[in-house]
Amino acid sequence: MKKDKRRQLHILSLLTILFAVLAIFMFAFFFAPKNQTRLPFGALSVYDEPWVLKNYGGENDKLITLPYKLKAKAGETITLMSRVPEDVTEDSVLVFDTKFQNVVVLLNDERIYSYGVMNNQKRLKNAVPCTNVVKLDGAKPGDILTIYMVSGYRKYSGNISQIYYGHEGNLASGMLRRHGLSLFAAITLLLITLLVIIAILFMKKANFDKMRALYAFCFAICAELWAIVQNPLLQFVFKNKFGMYMMQCILLLLLPVLFMMYQSCFTMRRRFVKIFEWSVYVFSINLLTGIVFQALSVVDFASYMTFTKVIVYIALFGLVGILYMAKETFESQALYTNLIAGAILFVAWTVEMVLSLFKFYSVCDGLVFMLGIYTYIVLLSISIIRQVIQEVNQEKDTAINSISLEKKRILSKLNMNLVYGALNDVIAKLKDKEYEESKLVYDTSLYLQKNMKAAVSSDVVPFTDELAYIRAYAGIICKKHSQLEFVIEDKVVEFRVPFNTVEPLVENAVLNGALKSNSDGRIVLRSYERLDCFAIQIVDNGPGIGPDKMFTGKKQYKEIKKQLKTACGAAIEIKTKQDKGTILTVKVPKEGYIVKE
């Protein structure tokens, strides 16, 4: 009953959450006050006003069509001019992407936007790849827009990307559509990882490889933080482009270090240990070198990350080979899972590098690798959770075994021989004069003996042993309930069953079946042979409720069912009919056969 209430509570909670989410979306997107407008779901359009390239390289002004590529030098300023469109409104924006380029935008002669640093400052190369959003809230149709662009790196100085125009709401909704799902997935994975870590911290006695789990979780958290930080939607919200990009690059440089540390936990041969140690050293030096180079403005991070991706690709290729060889030598489920995850990561990285060569993929750069990272983290978490569960199960089995040993120790201290001897003396004295009473004492003595054995034993025994247990119970219960008829038809007994499995089923058939019958109760126990199995059939004339619905006794029905399945591959078949009774059949398969329920 408690389980049903708990299940109903869970269903009600889920329905409440679902209703709340639907209500949020309805109020957010379908209802709006009369004096306000909803967030538009339109798209930005290409800025189709003509752009003038001003006095570049001593040449006359000329009209250009964006995107445009110039052969500009590092530090050379590019000037673009155009007029504000006729349909400009207070929430109109210009949007364009830049790579390591500094930008200043003027409306007439007033600066309305700047990014990076200009005027020959020392930190000229501090501009990083970003999406520039220029608000035109004070603009009027026909006003002059001027854009100045300059880069400290020749590779990016002449690049002029396409410029888009539209409402700020269109920009926000477009960002949500394109990047909202991936940001939600990254944050969800991070929360799940943190919850798993908290759960494991509470399992202080769990005996698992804590160092491996530490490296795994550090890698997972860094990967998820990288996925969050590099998301354009988050950069758009926080507006700290330089800081977000630096965090993204440093996390990406840190990932292979933590990854190799985690993989080193699986190595079992000395030469593989050395390989992973050197890999950790190489990627650690790569991390420090990248930070120093950026600080000294020696090279842009984008070029340095390309170099890093190449050595990571080589390392992943070598890793998959090492894990494959290790899998062939050492049979380990964790090692096999790690091999599959590493192979997925390698394939994702390969596809990412190939797609990055094509222009169409530039709008979703990093997507395939991110999906590979997500998959790897999920498999990683499953592997760790499985390991923890195995350790917990081992501890549970150890505890059960210790309880079983304690039971045996306590029972060994009981002088049951004295009790059985006294009962046998009573049986001998009553046998001649009071046969029925002597039989009751005998059945009680045998039932007590079998109960003591059932407390410590779960071995597979001949069915005759279990049948003796059932006969002793039948003798006692029939003496107590004279109206009960108990019939045993033991045609075949030459097979084996787990001890104390059939007898509890018989007890349940009596208590919840025959004794609750509208007429005199009747129980029939048959054992016979089929083509593929030996069958034990328990028939009662009760109200027709199967043991899977109602079960009382020493052992629960599910426990008995599991024990029969595990010990000898047996299955239970139940046929029940309202007010007619229940037929329960235990099918013990013969050698070479499999029985199904």
Average pLDDT over residues 118-145: 74
pLDDT on residue 2: 46
Identify the pLDDT of residue 34.
45
HEC readout, 370-438: HHHHHHHHHHHHHHHHHHHHHHHHHHHHHHHHHHHHHHHHHHHHCCHHHHHHHHHHHHHHHCCCCHHHH
pLDDT at 453 over 80: no
Q: Which of 42, 140, 131, 146 is nearest to 90 (CA)?
A: 140
Residue 592 region, left (φ>0) first, then alpha (ψ -120 to 50), else beta? left
When comparing pLDDT for 73 and 40, which is higher? 73
Largest CA distance in the chain: 134
Q: What is the DSSP letter of 164?
A: E
The better pLDDT of the pair 158, 362 is held by 158
481 burial via Cβ count (<10 Å: 0-12, 13-18, 19+): middle
Percent of the chain clearing pLDDT 70 (strictly above): 68
Say yes or no to pLDDT of 524 above 90: yes
Q: What predicted TM-score, i.e. pTM, was given to this entire model?
A: 0.56
- The pLDDT of 460-469, averaged and rounded, is 88
Which CATH architecture group holds 175-395?
Up-down Bundle (1.20)
Kindly give, in sequence order, each residue whose CB lies less than 8 Å from that of residue 91, ignoring residues fewer than 6 positions away. 135, 137, 167, 168, 169
- What is d(CA 410, CA 387) in angstroms, rounded to the nearest whole number? 34
Q: Mind listing the pLDDT tens digit for each residue in 151-191? A: 888 888 888 888 988 888 788 777 777 777 777 777 877 88
CATH number of 458-589: 3.30.565.10
**Beta carbons of 533 and 590 less than 8 angstroms apart:** yes
Alpha-carbon span 590 to 531, nearest angstrom? 8
Please enumerate in sequence order all residues whose Cβ is within 8 A of that of 256, keeping only pairs 6 or more positions apart, or say none. Answer: 279, 283, 286, 308, 312, 315
Helix axes 168-201, 367-413, angle to 10 degrees: 20
In the predicted structure, residue 369 carries a pLDDT above the cut 90:
no
pLDDT, one tens digit per residue, over 525-536 is 999 999 889 999
For 104-122, what is the mean pLDDT? 76
For residue range 216-240, list pLDDT tens digits in order: 778 778 877 887 887 777 777 777 7
Tokens of 494: 């030459």
| C-alpha span between 149 and 51 (Å, rounded) | 14
Identify the H or E element spanning 4: helix 2-29
Per-residue pLDDT, 587? 93
| Separation of alpha carbons 445 and 492, rounded Å | 26
Residue 403 or 417, more confident:
403
127: three-class secondary structure by DSSP: coil
Which tens digits make up the pLDDT trace of 548-595?
566 665 567 888 888 898 888 899 998 888 878 899 999 999 988 888
CA distance 353 to 377: 20
Cβ contact 160:78 at 8 Å? yes
Task: List alpha helices for 513-593, DSSP H.
Answer: 557-568
Q: Closest by alpha carbon to 503, among 541, 545, 464, 473?
A: 473
* CATH topology assigned to domain 45-162: Jelly Rolls (2.60.120)
Residue 452 has, within 13 A of its CA and on its CB side, a CA count of: 18
Q: What is the mean pLDDT of the chain?
A: 76
Does residue 411 surpass a pLDDT of 80? no
